[in-house]
């Protein structure tokens, strides 16, 4: 099986979209939000039919997790119905589809890494809307890759979130702000460059289905912050807090580490540890001191 000759990328200016444009080997036709809104069914069908791709990658999302609690309509419009528009249009054009989902489809109660066969139970509107997107994509287009990842950070920063966790931590530390960061939510930070590379490998397999794709290892947000500061040579006042103390509007899983079991089953290698990916990111950004 070889990589698709012509691929259409949606959400091209985002964090993952930007790294897909960097790594993708093969013809890539890119659409930014201003050029294609996946909530517009007719536009989505027209654009995909016109481009005649073999593969469509949908990175678009409404993923301000706390805001989704208040704006459930918008969350489901983009993350579920928009995902269906893309999957339908891809099917009609004879193309496969990649949909990016999240560890927030899980409740976090399992206590050990989630595999692709574990039953999702989202705690938030965002997680529910992405899970609905998974179901609609699966039902719409048999040639789908549904890829769950977590804690994305990449050079472009998440456009939908106004940056990423690493940059937020660095900015606050350099401004001398005291930092209170949750220490009871454990997941796996994942570099979008690494995820993009794995998506390319996956697309060449033709083995459709559900995949977990994260960097290796696990950490809490507070320990992640501590590692960022260690590598960047900063020593801000960092206070671990609990999710209850933070009292964010959306509930998040306490433990949403995912095992990339289906990747192994497909004969693909595991992504490197998140610490290595972070060091590379900081080096490219000019933040690394050691
Ligand atoms: N960030 C994370 O920690 C994380 C974790 C797990 C999974 N994910 C999933 O990974 C994917 C990529 O995330 P990311 O961090 O790369 O996000 P991102 O930087 O916000 O990129 C998403 C892109 O989609 C665009 N977009 C939003 N609504 C759209 C619409 N209706 N039609 C077309 N384009 C639209 C955004 O444009 P505008 O910014 O101009 O609206 C943005 O360029 C998402 O599906 C997300 O749910 C993210």
Which residues make beta-bridge pairs with 238? 179
Q: Among 59, 51, 48, 47, which residue's Cα sits nearest to residue 18?
A: 59
Topology classification of domain 6-161+189-214+256-271: Rossmann fold (3.40.50)
- For position 95, what pLDDT does the model report? 98
Q: Among 185, 172, 171, which residue's Cα sits nearest to residue 241?
A: 185
Residue with tokens 């069914």: 41
Which residues make beta-bridge pairs with 186? 220, 255
Q: 10-residue block means of pLDDT along the chain (290 residues)?
A: 86 96 96 98 98 98 96 98 98 98 98 97 98 98 98 88 90 94 98 98 97 98 98 96 96 98 98 98 88
pTM of the model: 0.97
- For position 224, what pLDDT does the model report? 98
- For position 193, what pLDDT does the model report? 98
* Cα separation, 196 vs 7, whole angstroms: 13
* Cα separation, 26 vs 23, whole angstroms: 10
Q: Measuring from atom 12 of ligand 1, which residue has the nearest CA? A: 59
- For position 158, what pLDDT does the model report? 78
Ligand 1 environment, Cβ below 6 A: 10-11, 13-17, 33, 36-39, 59-63, 78, 82, 100, 102, 149-152, 158-160
- For position 157, what pLDDT does the model report? 87
As a whole number of angstroms, the longest Cα–Cα distance in the chain is 55
- 90 near 49, Cβ under 8 Å? no
- For position 290, what pLDDT does the model report? 63
* Cα separation, 27 vs 106, whole angstroms: 35
Which of 21, 127, 159 to mutate for ligand 1's pocket (most ligand atoms within 8 Å of CB)?
159
- For position 289, what pLDDT does the model report? 84
Cα-based distances in Å from 69 to 98, 152, 202, 251: 26, 21, 33, 10
- For position 238, what pLDDT does the model report? 96
- For position 107, what pLDDT does the model report? 98
Q: Which two tokens stand for residue 190?
A: 């994942």
Ligand 1 atom, smallest distance to 160 CA = 20
- For position 288, what pLDDT does the model report? 83
Q: Measuring from atom 1 of ligand 1, which residue has the nearest CA? A: 152
Catalytic residue among 62, 104, 114, 126: 126
Q: Among 61, 16, 52, 10, which residue's Cα sits nearest to residue 32?
A: 10
Which of 32, 37, 58, 59 to mutate for ligand 1's pocket (most ligand atoms within 8 Å of CB)?
59
- 192 near 161, Cβ under 8 Å? no
Ligand 1 atom, smallest distance to 12 CA = 43
Determine whether 126 is an active site residue. yes
């Amino acid at each position: 099986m070889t990589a698709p000759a012509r691929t259409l990328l949606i959400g091209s200016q985002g964090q993952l979209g930007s790294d897909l444009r960097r790594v993708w080997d093969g013809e890539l036709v890119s659409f930014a939000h201003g050029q294609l809104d996946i909530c517009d069914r007719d536009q989505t069908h027209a654009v995909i039919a016109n481009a005649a791709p073999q593969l469509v990658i949908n990175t678009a999302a409404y993923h301000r997790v706390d805001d989704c609690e208040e704006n459930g309509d918008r969350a489901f419009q983009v993350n579920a119905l928009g995902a269906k528009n893309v999957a339908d249009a891809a099917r009609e054009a004879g193309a496969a589809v990649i949909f990016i989902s999240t560890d927030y489809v899980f409740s976090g109660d399992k206590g050990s890494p989630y595999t692709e066969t574990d039953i999702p139970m989202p705690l938030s509107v965002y997680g529910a809307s992405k899970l609905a997107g998974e179901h609609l994509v699966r039902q719409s287009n048999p040639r789908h890759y549904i890829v769950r990842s977590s804690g994305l950070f990449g050079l472009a920063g998440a456009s939908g979130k106004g940056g990423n966790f690493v940059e937020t931590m660095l900015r606050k530390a350099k401004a001398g702000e005291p930092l209170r960061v949750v220490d009871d939510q454990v997941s796996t930070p994942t570099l979008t460059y690494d995820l993009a590379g794995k998506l390319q490998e996956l697309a060449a397999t033709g083995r459709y289905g559900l995949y977990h794709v994260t960097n290796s290892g696990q950490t809490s947000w507070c320990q992640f912050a501590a590692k960022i500061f260690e590598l960047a040579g900063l020593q801000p006042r960092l206070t671990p807090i609990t999710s209850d103390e933070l009292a964010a509007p959306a509930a998040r899983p306490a433990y949403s580490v995912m095992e990339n079991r289906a990747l192994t089953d497909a004969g693909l290698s595991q992504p490197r540890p998140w610490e290595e990916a972070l060091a590379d990111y900081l080096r490219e950004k000019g933040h690394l001191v050691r």
